[in-house]
Structure 1
Amino acid sequence: MTATETKTTEPVGRSPIPLAECALARAIGAIGDGWSLLILREALCGVERFDAMCEDLAIPRSVLADRLARLIEAGILEQTTYREPGQRSRKAYVLSETGRALIPALVALRAWAEDHLPGGRSSLRLQDKDGQEISVHLLRADGTKVEDFAGIKAVAAPQTQPSTRHRAASPRTRRSV
């Protein structure tokens, strides 16, 4: 929109539902910050060991330990034990079933970055078990693909009671992953 153009729609005064009832807000709170997303990327790439994650991400050990603990607590990662011959037992970190359910969101984030951020197409490819590259698309309830995102908006579900509307604490004020 240029400085001379005017907006043709009325601004929305408030969100259609409170944060406490919003699944998107809960997801953001569970996943948390950029470090947590990068840890999920590592797990998706098959990196399971603490030291390898620490080196790949150049993340302080204390921050990595904290984020791993939060992701485990949220049920997104699982901690397993491995032992190399002649070595002590060590911990490994893998995506749980709940964590694997985040793969479509991670694929969508990657696609968004490729389309909208400097750097273009990533050399990271995501494939299914048959070696086919995967992508994510939005579908309408009737199964047809959404091509234009301009008209998409958030609305309250029909069963939402306007009288239950209240302001919840911001996700920033709550402990997040």
Structure 2
Amino acid sequence: MDDVVQMAGALDPRSGWSATHCSVAKALDVVSTRTAFLLLREAFYGTTRFDDFAERIGASEPVTSARLRELVDAGLLVKEPYKEPGQRTRQRYVLTEMGTDLFPTVVALMQWGDRWTNDGGYVHLEHTGCGGRIHAELRCEHGHPVTPGETELHRNRAA
């Protein structure tokens, strides 16, 4: 059990409390489907138009529409009007700050998938500034890398 989070303080023993206000569960309520994650991936890749989202993730228009609406309602994307010459005004979808904050999650899923599911992946991310490959890594506020076995779960003071 060296690779598990340790319960600390009021949270130990684990059987003494319930994760009723779990941030993981709340986050999954917002981004709860494969389609939603793929739409976010495409938004990070610069996709903004409805038709492009639907085509690039291979979803039907009704499913794409429903998931985009959910992401907008949740505050991860906003709709902005745009107009191409000679065309009617349409809406494009743009990441909000809240949506952009999910980038490390998408990178972590990509990294995990590259390692465990698909022979190293088809694409990778590089830092524009130096060309180094980007990876997700957990660190404490003092900069130390951490593993689950080096982690304690504490109750927030405000809880």
In which range does the TM-score fall when normalised by the shorter chain?
0.7 to 0.9
Bigger Cα displacement from structure 2, 55-64 vs 136-145: 136-145
What per-residue deviation string (whole Å, max 9, x for no partner) do you get for residues 29-87 of structure 1?
11111010010011011111111111112211111111111100111011111111111
The superposition leaves residues 86-107 of structure 1 with CA deviations (integer Å, 9 ceiling, x where unpaired) of 1111111111111011101111
Identity among equivalent pairs (%): 30
Please report the TM-score for the alignment, with normalisation by the length of structure 1: 0.72
RMSD (Å) for aligned C-alpha atoms? 2.4
Give the corresponding residue for 2:29.
29
Q: Distance in 2 between matches of 1:15 and 1:125?
A: 43
Q: Is 1:155 aligned to 2:153, yes or no?
A: yes
* C-alpha separation in 1, matches of 2:82 and 2:134: 30
CA contact under 8 A between 1:76 and 1:96: conserved in structure 2? yes
SS class of match (1:62)? helix
Partner of 1:86: 86
Listed one character per residue, the Cα deviations across residues 5-33 of structure 1 (whole Å, up to 9, x for unaligned) are xxxxxxx86585423x1111111111111
- Partners of 1:154 and 1:35 lie apart in 2 by 33
Residue ranges of structure 1 left out of the alignment (5+ in a row): 1-11, 162-177
Query: For the Cα contact (< 8 Å) 1:17–1:156, is it kept in 2?
Result: no
Once the two structures are overlaid, the 10-residue window that deviates more, 130-139 or 32-41, is 130-139
- Residue matched to 1:120: 119
Is structure 2 residue 100 aligned with structure 1 residue 100?
Answer: yes
Matched with 2:10 is none
Alignment correspondent of 2:19: 18
- Work out the number of aligned pairs and report it: 146
Residues 119-145 of structure 1, C-alpha deviation per residue, up to 9 Å, x if partnerless?
A: 222233334453643222111343211
Q: Are 1:16 and 1:155, in contact at CA under 8 Å, matched by a contact in 2?
A: no
Equivalent residue number for residue 66 of structure 2:
66
Q: Structure 1 residues 154 and 51 mapped into 2: Cα distance closer, same or farther (>3 Å)?
A: farther
Distance 2:75 2:16 in 1: 28
Unpaired runs of 5+ in structure 2? 1-12
Change (3 A) 1:88 1:15: farther
